[in-house]
Amino acid sequence: MLIEIKVPDVGAPQVDVIEVLIQAGDNVVLDQSIATLEGDKASMELPSTANGVVQQVHIKPGDKVSEGTLIATVLVAEVAAAVAAPAPVKAPDVAPPVVKLTEPAPITPPTVSSSAPVQPATSVSNVSVHASPSVRMFARELGVDLGKVTVATGRKGRILKDDVKLFVKHALAEGVVGTAGAGIPSIPAVDFSVFGGIEVQKLSKIKRLTGQNLTRVWLNLPMVTYHDEADITEMEAFRVSLNSEKAKDEIKITALLFIIKALVAAMKQFPSFNASLSSDGESIILKKYFNIGIAVDTPNGLVVPVLRDVDSKSINQLSVELAEKSTKARQGKLLPNEMQGGCLTISSLGGIGGTAFTPIVNAPEVAILGVTRAKMQPVWNGTEFIPRLMLPLDLTYDHRVIDGAEGARFMAVVKQNLSDIRRLLL
């Protein structure tokens, strides 16, 4: 016979159907979860009130239901009555219809080792997902399809929050975030041609790989950006005087070279800026070398050649090396090992303009320094305003390794080194 399963009293006028766990043809047993409902303050799993075969499901995700709303109809066989009844002496002329109930496969409990009290991981079927309402809500917040979670460590194959977190972690490690993000809804496709003419261009490989890396960093690192300005009036005057002494065919000295030197001097005072966080997040790897990455804009995208051992090289040596690597970068001739091993990166927009921006850390580094165009500003010296050349600086750092006070102190030292380059001799 057919049994109707309806919404019981849920203590609210209306609730939302979040998830439907059955479909027509499924076998259900008493108290099995068949749907998840959610009100204003809580979510709940709706249990089956009968054993049998689902004939029809009357709700779908997104519906609003209330007490008495029909959820599903289930075909039930009266097994107990059939067993208790005496065997008929004579078969009837017309055989009565027999309803065959397919019993669900028994659940085999996981084997527990005497030496390991923790329940072993259980493979989860996409069809039948066992998880508490709080875990389902947690998964929905992350955008995770519980049917794709293949490991469940809870009792009787139940998915726990840690299983969902592990699924997201593996998705991040496999680069899923490069496309739609692990657990993040993708942006829907739009046919832009209906609004006018379009042209489709393939992204270069560099831009695609850069995009994947930056997305991974953005999702994994808690980043903070600190903005400040350095007075480079004397430094610029010194740089101009040095270039005036050079021959026409000699490579000129740029302000970026002084920034590199000022940065390395500050990194020696603050070792946490010359470090990387271990993959398990339990320790910091302090580096004893000083390699600085320089973000270079090329026709194919952004690349970061690395200047090695900058603390042991002169301004003139760095000037020649930076010119050579920048040229190779724009020609697409940089080798992979020339873009590896950086300790901290500088991203300079000085030749273009701008007043500030938020650079993204080039992980596994823990910080990046952004530079925009310097400009003359009136600065109060205590008695009057005087014109000074001020350079905007933007320091983004990984907050897991560097806190706000340390970031501010680091920037203060960088500013001091740039304002008075004689400090670099100390």
Q: State residue 106's pLDDT score.
A: 45
pLDDT, tens digit, 9 for 90 and up, residues 247-284: 888 899 999 999 999 999 999 999 999 999 998 888 99
Q: State residue 376's pLDDT score.
A: 95
**Domain definitions of the chain by residue range:** 1-103, 119-176, 206-425
Per-residue pLDDT at 95 exceeds 70: no
Per-residue pLDDT at 59 exceeds 50: yes
Residue 169 dihedral angles phi and psi, to the nearest 5°: -60, -45
DSSP 122-137: EE--SS---B-HHHHH
What is the residue-averaged pLDDT of the chain? Answer: 82
Rounded to an integer, what is the distance from CA 100 to the centroid of its chain?
Answer: 50
Question: Average pLDDT of 323-341?
Answer: 89
Residue 285 dihedral angles phi and psi, to the nearest 5°: -100, 110
- Give the active site residues: 343, 399, 403
pTM listed for this prediction: 0.59
Beta bridge mates, 367: 397
**What confidence tier does 121 reach under pLDDT thresholds 50, 70, 90?**
very low
The rounded distance, in Å, linking the Cα atoms of 160 and 167 is 11
User: If one looks up domain 1-103 in CATH, what number appears?
Assistant: 2.40.50.100
Sign of dihedral through CA atoms 406, 412, 415, 420? Answer: negative
Q: Which of 25-34, 91-100, 124-133, 153-162 is the least confident region?
A: 91-100
**What confidence tier does 48 reach under pLDDT thresholds 50, 70, 90?**
confident
Query: What would the 3-class secondary structure string for 49-102 be?
Result: CCCEEEEEECCCCCCEECCCCEEEEEECCCHHHHHHCCCCCCCCCCCCCCCCCC
**What confidence tier does 39 reach under pLDDT thresholds 50, 70, 90?**
low
**What confidence tier does 173 reach under pLDDT thresholds 50, 70, 90?**
low
Per-residue pLDDT at 314 exceeds 50: yes
**What confidence tier does 40 reach under pLDDT thresholds 50, 70, 90?**
low
Q: Which CATH class is domain 206-425?
A: alpha beta
- What topology is assigned to 119-176 in CATH? Dihydrolipoamide Transferase (4.10.320)
The rounded distance, in Å, linking the Cα atoms of 329 and 348 is 15
Question: Average pLDDT of 122-129?
Answer: 48
**What confidence tier does 326 reach under pLDDT thresholds 50, 70, 90?**
very high
One fold for 1-103 and 206-425: no
Give the closest residue to 344 by CA, choosing from 411, 298, 283: 411
Q: State residue 43's pLDDT score.
A: 62
Per-residue pLDDT at 119 exceeds 60: no
